[in-house]
Structure 1
Amino acid sequence: MRHLTLLGGLVLGLAVAGGAQPMTAAPATTPLSAIAALRDPAGQVIGTATFRQMGQGVQVSVEARGLPPGGHGMHVHEYGRCTPGVDPATNTVVPFGGAGGHFDPGMSRNHDDPQAPNKYGHGGDLPMLNVGADGVGRATFTSDKVSLTGMNGVLNRSLVIHANPDDYKSDPSGMSGARLRCGIISRNGLTTRDYPLPGAQDFPEGVAYDARKGVIYTGSAVNGTIYAVDAASGAVSKFQEGGALGRRAALGLKVDPQGRLWIAGGAQGTVSILSPDGVTLKVLQTPDSPNPYINDLTLAPDGNVYVTDSTRPVIFRVDPDLTLTRWLDLGDTPVKYGPGINLNGIAATPDGRYLLAIQLNTGELWRIDLRSKAVQRVMGGLERGDGLLLDGRTLYVSRNAMQVVSKVSLSADYGSGQVVAEEPLRGLRFPATLAAVGGDLVVTQSQLDKLQGGTPETPFRLTRFRKF
């Protein structure tokens, strides 16, 4: 069986929702746990399932009542919705159809047995529930096909019990029949606040916070629309329509001391600057060359803005007079560009001495000296590291496909670091970037993996939680 390696010790982070009081952090040794209240189609709770992270696997305990005797297929389904919905196989509305199909993190598109590696069968294919003559079914097992964190994470998905036995081979669900029970897998001991977005194709990538306005900005990776979200009320308004002056994408975002919003333009190779009221002040075009990908930017204490390109080995700089130059050629540094997304998130240290940048395709964190331009490797092991948020010597890293935010403790000179905690929240969906809102963090749940196939969970959302 395939195993998912958990990176570092898990710490249950804190979060706030509205005026909720902060909770006390659980110690690092406390394993993640979750529960699903199993409901019948009428909404009555007549069973429970508990989930507990046990090393590389999850221990699952199920008790369900009021079921016909015999074997019943049991699966984790894609969405955290125990609502009626359309069954694609019959094109009819069925109970719990809103849970979607089987959770399939390996993109196998194949129903198989509970021992099959996820690249061959659905990750959500679990052992059957056997029900006695009294209508009660109980099962306890450990599976490493699913996890409460990482790429196989099942938080905020659904556990569904079916009417018939599972033959463990027939697509899409082993001939297991109607959906009789459903429960949403909810993390224990955590409160978060979501900011839903209105668009059906938002795919939010960047996020930034303007403390003077109390506004969170986020932008669509697929159409460039910028939203302004009231951090207190959650009200969302369109700050600038996608396509403004040709902007087709919005990736990394930052707000400068003048209240201007800076936008990394992705494959267009641009940096856009918007006024505090949403008017485009300037669009800076990077030099013509094949395959640009302007991904993120940071405001440094020296007044300059530094910009990463994920496909061309260069860091650009925008001076206070809004002149863009090629600041550092990475070809002669230890940073080696390869296929895929290279340098991505970037942050400036508060002392104005260094830049920190994460290389997504290698998981390496780099330190760049702003005086000498010397480049040093800080650490590895941050696979799929995307956005960065630096808080003193604490670095938060959103790791998209890993579906966690990692907390890194950095040395005094920012030259070395260690992962000290991981936070999956209530089930992150391809987290891209982070912003600080007072003592909280806000992360984008971009779901950019769904651009490669699959249906995104809507509404798209930002999620706010306490720094951990």
Structure 2
Amino acid sequence: MRLPLLAFVCGSSLAAAQPAVPPPASETLEQLVVDARAARVKGDIPNWIRLGTKVLELTPDHPDILISIARAHAAAGNKDQSLAKLGDAVRRGAAFDPGRFPEFKSLEGDGRFDALAANAKQNLAPVGKATRFAKLPEGESEGIAYDQVSRRLFAGTGNGELLAIDEQGKVSTFASGGGLRQILGIKVDAARRLVWLVSGRYPEPDAPADSGTGGIRAYDLDSGAIVKTVEVDERPILHGFNDLALAKDGTVYVTDTNRNSVYKLAPGGKILELLLQDGRMTFPNGIVLTSDQRTLFVTHVEGISAVDVRTGARRLLSVPADASVNSIDGLLLHDGQLYAVQNSPYLDRIVGIALSPDGRSIERVRTLSSHTPAGLSHTTAAIAGDHLYMVGGTPQPDVYGGTNPAKSDSGIWRIAL
């Protein structure tokens, strides 16, 4: 599930100045983003800076937020502060044309700004080459997983279909009906011959009446028979179950994006048990388990956290000054390296993430593919052989407040590793 947009960083309009608004009642990142966006839309530059700075304190490496604060400082005439934040964002990989934002017009002609703008536009250049492997039905398509035994990929749709894709890219329906709804994360337990998935209805504006309900289920990989279903309906509490990780002992871990939580289903269990809930782990999404089965890596707006599977204790991984691991959707762990689909507005790319030997920090982030195909984003990925396969094809939001001209092209794309 694409993370809810940090909407105040997008859009180019700046209204006339308005009276300051009262301080926000909540200091969560999500509420601060909402309030900062409201200040930007109203043209309340002092509060745009004040609230945006609070957001940045909670997620200091996020290029989207750095760009927003750079715009706000430029609008206030704070040239040095604007250039510092803009430079940080560009160094971390932000890809855009600063000249298209009206707040930066006053900086044009300054040698420092012109150099940063050139580098930001250079980040828009395509990296790698993604080629289409399979065409999927039009509409939302989210999760993807690979079964090394049958050599099939599995992908889900927003209409409750689990699809199987063979080595030639031929798509067929593996499972549908029986209560299947919006399918998000998918993982394969090859040893037990099971495919696990998240099914439900993520809570979004204008969602159906069953919004905020869902759970996980497992199907037999060989027969297609349903093996396990665990549903959760705790309305008015709304859940947003998203992605999965599987342990060798059969434990299933699942992120709940809407509740800033991670749950687990014990082997033979009948209910999802809360492992961790943390308001500083905003919109948790991708999740993988280390080979020693002791640690979960969980992606969220602020970055990537390592979570102890026994205690639920969490620590945020540190990143180099030239890297960003914010707002990642799909996450993989393969041969000791993390692979991630990063689809926030200014980071449309697939990256490889090298961890330190002790797993406590990130040493390097390298871009494997970006802006290919142009204008389209991906959500999750799977590795099969020497290729990484991505499901997606939804047009990226236009950060300048317009409409992305790219047409939706649902499918599975791949890049060579």
Q: SS of the residue aligned with 2:391?
A: strand
- How far apart are 1:251 and its partner, in Å? 0.7
Please give the residue correspondences for 1:276-425 in structure 2 after superposition, counting only pairs within 5 Å. 276=221, 277-286=223-232, 288-289=234-235, 290-331=237-278, 336-338=280-282, 342-359=283-300, 361-362=301-302, 364-379=303-318, 381-401=324-344, 402-425=347-370
- How far apart are 1:148 and its partner, in Å? 6.1
Which residue, out of 196, 208, 218, partners 2:134? Answer: 196
User: 1:199·1:459 contact (CA, 8 Å) conserved in 2?
Assistant: no
Aligned residue identity for 2:100: A
Please give the residue correspondences for 1:172-211 in structure 2 after superposition, counting only pairs within 5 Å. 190-201=128-139, 203-211=140-148
Q: Separation in 1 of the partners of 2:132 and 2:307?
A: 35
What's 2:379 paired with? 432
Please give the residue correspondences for 1:36-47 in structure 2 after superposition, counting only pairs within 5 Å. none
What's 1:466 paired with? 416
Please give the residue correspondences for 1:47-86 in structure 2 after superposition, counting only pairs within 5 Å. none
Cα distance per residue 1:434-457 (max 9 Å; x no partner) = 111022211122527579976763
Cα distance per residue 1:127-165 (max 9 Å; x no partner) = xxxxxxxxxxxxxxx97598465xxx475xxxxxxxxxx
Cα distance per residue 1:168-206 (max 9 Å; x no partner) = xxxxxxxxxxxxxxxxxxx6xx554412324122x2211
Q: SS of the residue aligned with 2:363?
A: strand
User: 1:432·1:444 contact (CA, 8 Å) conserved in 2?
Assistant: yes
* In the alignment, structure 1 residue 219 sits paired with structure 2 residue 156: yes
- How far apart are 1:466 and its partner, in Å? 2.0
C-alpha RMSD over aligned residues? 3.5
1:224–1:400 CA distance, 2 compared to 1 (3 A)? farther
Which residue, out of 178, 202, 206, partners 1:245? Answer: 178
1:254–1:118 CA distance, 2 compared to 1 (3 A)? farther
User: 2:304·2:325 contact (CA, 8 Å) conserved in 1?
Assistant: yes
Number of equivalenced pairs:
295
- How far apart are 1:284 and its partner, in Å? 0.9
Q: Separation in 2 of the partners of 1:324 and 1:455?
A: 45
- How far apart are 1:458 and its partner, in Å? 4.6
1:280–1:454 CA distance, 2 compared to 1 (3 A)? farther
Return the TM-score normalized by structure 1. Answer: 0.56
Q: Separation in 1 of the partners of 2:364 and 2:252?
A: 27
Q: SS of the residue aligned with 1:424?
A: strand
Aligned residue identity for 2:315: Q
- How far apart are 1:350 and its partner, in Å? 0.5
Cα distance per residue 1:181-233 (max 9 Å; x no partner) = xxxxxx6xx554412324122x221110001111011112x322221111x31
1:118–1:404 CA distance, 2 compared to 1 (3 A)? farther
How many percent identity over aligned positions? 23
Q: Separation in 1 of the partners of 2:391 and 2:141?
A: 6
Cα distance per residue 1:413-435 (max 9 Å; x no partner) = 32111333112356152221111
1:145–1:439 CA distance, 2 compared to 1 (3 A)? closer
Q: Separation in 1 of the partners of 2:390 and 2:102?
A: 28
- How far apart are 1:316 and its partner, in Å? 1.3
- How far apart are 1:301 and its partner, in Å? 2.6
1:324–1:148 CA distance, 2 compared to 1 (3 A)? farther
Which residue, out of 441, 457, 467, partners 2:407? Answer: 457
Return structure 1 stretches of 4+ with deviation > 6 angstroms: 118-121, 450-456
Cα distance per residue 1:3-43 (max 9 Å; x no partner) = x979xxxxxxxxxxxxxxxxxxxxxxxxxxxxxxxxxxxxx
1:234–1:369 CA distance, 2 compared to 1 (3 A)? same
- How far apart are 1:280 and its partner, in Å? 2.7
What's 2:5 paired with? none
Q: Separation in 1 of the partners of 2:102 and 2:224?
A: 46
* In the alignment, structure 1 residue 259 sits paired with structure 2 residue 197: no
Cα distance per residue 1:256-301 (max 9 Å; x no partner) = 1222211112523211212223333332113514221001010123
Cα distance per residue 1:335-365 (max 9 Å; x no partner) = 5255xxx110000000111111001x32x11
Which residue, out of 223, 235, 239, partners 2:170? Answer: 235
1:371–1:197 CA distance, 2 compared to 1 (3 A)? same
User: 1:5·1:56 contact (CA, 8 Å) conserved in 2?
Assistant: yes
Cα distance per residue 1:307-360 (max 9 Å; x no partner) = 1000113321112214233231324xxx5255xxx110000000111111001x
Q: Which has the larger strand fraction?
A: 1
